[in-house]
Structure 1
Amino acid sequence: MTRTQSWIVAVSALTIATLLTAILAGWFYLGPTLAARYLAYDFDLIAASGTIGDSFGPLNALFAAFGFLAVMVTLIIQGFSIRNQQKEIGRAQADLHRQRFESSFFQLLDLMRQVRAEIVYTTTTKTKNGRLVGGRALKGAYEDAKHLLIRETPIDRKLSKTEIAKLYKGHIHIRSEDGLGPYFRLIYTILRRIHQDSVLTEEEKVQYGNLLRGQLGSPEVALLVLNGLTKDSRDLSEYLNRFRIPRYLPDSSVRRSVKEFYTPTAFEPRGD
């Protein structure tokens, strides 16, 4: 029971007790006087006793009123108690949801690292064997993307969103579609789950977004931002804006090419 409810109970009980005491004291004080007054008259004793009995009518009404008041106070207190119980249940359910979300979140991060380790990419630059795996595959794809954008960007204008997406899909993503595809879809799933969760606070969502960003290196951020421009990525770009992933793009041809296709705030520090 909260302090407010305790005050309500105390005040109500004190009020009822005070009124009942006053009424009973008055009745006991005036009772003999009334009895002597009515019985002193020269008429039938039964009739006089009936008159005295009738005087209890108002007292009965008062007791009935106080009884009703007591019932109302009890119902109000029970209402407070039920609401508090519901709040406690709601908080317990929210805490349980947070625990489950945290557990599934870190499981997805583990799965993300496993998928990343299995990515294979055949680079077009001069590297040993030209076949890269894991983090080196992502770095190789990023280097190819930088050179590709530099080579294909016209002198007199910037590439459009559609042109960048087509270059990325036709020259980078296609070289590791079986690896980059599942990897980016997994990142998309994590971001979407954080964004759509109805229990997490905004601060908690930002913290989870930061944890995910901490798992991404600069090459991954660059490829992820390029992938966000393609039609197949659905609303990935919205989540990248939401969690300010483009902010971690290194200063390169990729950043210069895609900057106008993401919101300005996506490149700004959040202060978190």
Structure 2
Amino acid sequence: MSDQPFYKRTVFILFISVSFILGIWYFYPNYLEWTDSKNISYLEKPWYLTNMDNLELPNEVIENSNKEKIGGKYGTYGDSYGSLNTLFTGLAFAGLIISIILQGRELKATRKEMNDQKEVMREQKIESEKQNKILENQHQLIQKQFDESKKQAFLNQYYALLDQRQKILGSLVITKLDGSKLEGNEVIAEYVKGFRSLREQFDTDIHDDEYMNLAWDRLSKKLHKSYDYQLVSYFKFYRMFFSLIQKNDALSDSEKTLYINILKNFISVEEQLLLMWLGCFKKAYNILCCKYSLLSDIYNANLEPIGLKFYKVEAFGNSKTWKQAFEKNKKTEA
């Protein structure tokens, strides 16, 4: 019994108690009658018949006297049942108290179960957050590995393009009238000579972008005996190279700046002069020079009119000489 829950023990005790009381209620009168019949062996005779020991009383008298005697006793017994009513009332009240206690215990058990469920849910939430954190870390790791692979692919392409640039430069060829050939940087130097002659004759009032374009075409036809676009294709390679760096999302801004500066260091002064010439009549090269300050290493008094007419100051980077020239020109125009 001690192993049973509290409410089961209580119900069992109540059942035994009620059964016991009902048993008393049912058998109590019979018990009293049986006890009374044992104790009453004779009826007390009236005083006037005390000397009449041998007198036989009528059965009716004996029966009436016996009932009167027993009735008096049973009246007292009947009054004793009032205590049983009080007992039952007390038991009912006790049952109510026990019911309240049981309900309180059940509520307490329910609250404990709910608290346990909350604790389990809290632990599950913590575990879920840990799992999410692990998944997030895995995602970041995978993303980092992916970015690193993209960056490595970019570096491979970057250095491959640098090698390709050198090959394209080496493929530049001009055959002179005497049969000799100019190759690579010699071709660029020959165009620079033409640009030097051009800028010495340049007049900002009468010359424009069309004039610069015709001058380029005349020089190309003179050197190659026809219109040749080898050099234009070579500088187009730079446009593609800068675009590759700028649009690569695997690089941070600082990394992009680093690789752009590395590439700018490969551009010689002679190449900067030709980029300046091309930018006078080709908008794409003009934008390229201004965006990446590709003309920062060149300055000459003969270059000022061309630079001021066709370019913005951004094309010359941090050159103090060019900044002063633009400021002076601005004051003159004002």
Normalising by structure 2, report the TM-score: 0.58
Check 1:183–1:252 CA distance in 2 against 1; reply closer, same or farther (3 A cut).
farther
Q: Does 1:90 align with 2:152?
A: no
Check 1:205–1:214 CA distance in 2 against 1; reply closer, same or farther (3 A cut).
same
1:165 counterpart residue number: 213
SS at 1:228 equivalent: helix
Check 1:184–1:106 CA distance in 2 against 1; reply closer, same or farther (3 A cut).
same
SS at 1:197 equivalent: coil
**RMSD (Å), alpha carbons:** 3.4
How far the C-alpha of 1:229 sits from its partner, in A, is 3.3
Q: Does 1:110 align with 2:168?
A: no
1:140 counterpart residue number: 190
The range that moved more, 180-189 or 101-110, is 180-189
Mapped to 2, the partners of 1:194 and 1:259 lie a distance apart of: 29
How far the C-alpha of 1:212 sits from its partner, in A, is 1.6
Q: Which of the residues 212, 221, 228 maps onto 2:263?
A: 212
2:66 counterpart residue number: none
Q: Which of the residues 256, 264, 267 maps onto 2:313?
A: 264
In 2, are the aligned partners of 1:122 and 1:132 still within 8 Å (CA)? Answer: yes
2:50 counterpart residue number: none
1:211 partner letter:
I
Identity of aligned residues (%): 15
In 1, are the aligned partners of 2:148 and 2:250 still within 8 Å (CA)? Answer: no
Mapped to 2, the partners of 1:140 and 1:165 lie a distance apart of: 17
In 2, are the aligned partners of 1:123 and 1:144 still within 8 Å (CA)? Answer: no
Superposed CA offset, 1:74-115 (max 9, x none) = 222222222222222222211111111111111111111111
1:180 counterpart residue number: 231
In 1, are the aligned partners of 2:290 and 2:315 still within 8 Å (CA)? Answer: yes
In 2, are the aligned partners of 1:123 and 1:140 still within 8 Å (CA)? Answer: no
Q: Does 1:78 align with 2:131?
A: yes
Mapped to 2, the partners of 1:81 and 1:174 lie a distance apart of: 69
2:274 counterpart residue number: 223
Mapped to 2, the partners of 1:58 and 1:64 lie a distance apart of: 10
Check 1:120–1:252 CA distance in 2 against 1; reply closer, same or farther (3 A cut).
farther
Whichever of the two has the greater Rg, that structure is 2
Unaligned runs of 5+ in 2: 1-5, 15-90, 320-334
Mapped to 1, the partners of 2:258 and 2:230 lie a distance apart of: 27
The range that moved more, 252-261 or 142-151, is 252-261
Superposed CA offset, 1:242-268 (max 9, x none) = 221111224263464134423312212
2:142 partner letter:
I
Mapped to 2, the partners of 1:48 and 1:67 lie a distance apart of: 30
Normalising by structure 1, report the TM-score: 0.70
In 1, are the aligned partners of 2:195 and 2:277 still within 8 Å (CA)? Answer: no
1:96 partner letter:
S
Mapped to 1, the partners of 2:218 and 2:212 lie a distance apart of: 10
Number of aligned residue pairs: 228
How far the C-alpha of 1:201 sits from its partner, in A, is 1.8
SS at 1:245 equivalent: coil
How far the C-alpha of 1:204 sits from its partner, in A, is 1.5
1:200 counterpart residue number: 251
Check 1:161–1:266 CA distance in 2 against 1; reply closer, same or farther (3 A cut).
same
2:293 partner letter:
R
Mapped to 2, the partners of 1:62 and 1:250 lie a distance apart of: 82
Q: Does 1:235 align with 2:284?
A: yes
Mapped to 1, the partners of 2:296 and 2:245 lie a distance apart of: 19
